[in-house]
Amino acid sequence: MRFSLLSVICLIGLHTAYSARVVCYWDGRSFHREGVAKITVEEIRPALTYCTHLIYGYAAIDDDDYHIEPIDKKLDTDKDNGHNQYKQVTDLKKSHPGLTVLLSVGGNADTEDPEKYLTLLESKDHQTKFINSVKTFLTKHGFDGIDIAWQFPVVKEKKDRGIIGGFFHKVKKTFGSGVDDKAEEHKDQFVTLLRDMKSVLRTDNKIMTLGVLPHINSSVYYDVKSIIPYLAFINLWTIDFRTPKRSSEQADYAAPLYYRYDRKPHQNLDSTVKWWKEQGAEPHKLIVGVPTYGRTWKMTLDSAISGVPPITADGPGPAGTHTKTEGLLAYYEICPRIVSPTNAKAPRDTLRRVTDPSKRLGTYGYHMPNKQKNEEEGIWVTFEEPETAAQKAQYVKQNGYGGVALIDLSLDDPRGMCDGTKYPILKQAKVSL
């Protein structure tokens, strides 16, 4: 009896320690959008019902003395003439005591002098300056830790070679060839950075996570077994495998769950997560990225009439009404355009929604060009929706991974414009874990 009771207690303890995380990224620059796209701390509050961690982005690295700094000082730290958003974000812990709030550095948002991320690694002095500045910065602004979304060089997109061509074409690494002559040195230096960062942050009870950005050759830059002990968990950005910027002439699924035989083997969620696990990462430390938006391409009269991907395209689709970014639509910009029995008021440029019965690839929508109506261009969009987010969360649960990371809160549906439910993608991911 005593043994049984002890066993139950141990099992409960393990469940608590490894309970699924819902990591919510928020790009604070969404504050600068207009109208319904403008997202402030007040719009974020309803999401915190579902989030265990809020990661606010993004901070930058100064390329002169390598200290951490805000990308937008007026927005984030200016108390007099700005919005002091760092304080507003960390103050959310007062109303949500269980919430952990982290600051993300990099995240492909730090666009000035991208080489500095490698230059910093190459100098012990630069590393020390950066680490000490992070320690001071986190304490000053009340963050619970740092998310290292390091901007390593990205792998260039290669043309598909087909099954036969792919068989004879052997790549050097799992995720494509690298572009860095000092890659091995940088891999070792990154381990040192994380080790020393962990040592310094531990004294302040701060945590550190890793954000693995899209299109980085993980096999080149991450010594998984060596870095795992220093990280609370790893946020795998399993998003944007295909984008109109990288693949302008061919539209395809941006964030498929599984591999399909006629696609690149590594460009899917399942292959990415399994690679990290095979390299020695504990499953409960692997957080699976889930996008909250769609990637769009222009369809032409030469595009396949069925809409089935991959299809011929002509660059990124037009900018959304609210997000105003070519090749991108927030979920709340997509849902009103989907043809359905409950959406009789869908606009002229409606999208025909096509789901995947196998639940392996995702959902897409398209609007064909119509020569008779003088429509020379249509649109094709691969997007996340509540149903596909739920499928990915169920995958996480079934395989014992650590949780999901929503990227990005501002592109879900913060105002409930689709059906009255705020953050429907986030909500379905949470309840499906």
Structural domain includes residue 192: yes
Structural domain includes residue 353: no
Mean pLDDT of 294-307: 89
Mean pLDDT of 91-118: 97
List, for residues 59-73, the tens digit of each pLDDT value.
999 999 999 999 999
What is the number of structural domains in the chain? 1
**Average pLDDT value for the chain:** 91
List, for residues 210-242, the tens digit of each pLDDT value.
999 999 999 999 999 999 999 999 999 999 999
List, for residues 320-334, the tens digit of each pLDDT value.
999 999 999 999 999
Structural domain includes residue 221: yes
Structural domain includes residue 428: yes
Expressed as residue numbers, the domain containing 151 is 21-156+183-292+385-432
CATH code of the domain covering residue 105 = 3.20.20.80
Structural domain includes residue 379: no
- pLDDT above 90 as % of the chain: 80
What does pTM read for this prediction? 0.91
Structural domain includes residue 413: yes
Structural domain includes residue 27: yes
User: Token pair for residue 253?
Assistant: 């699924």
Structural domain includes residue 59: yes
Residue 261 confidence (pLDDT) above 90: no
> What is the per-residue pLDDT for 193?
99
List, for residues 141-191, the tens digit of each pLDDT value.
999 999 999 999 999 887 654 433 343 343 344 444 456 899 999 999 999
Comparison of pLDDT for 14 and 346, the residue scoring more: 346
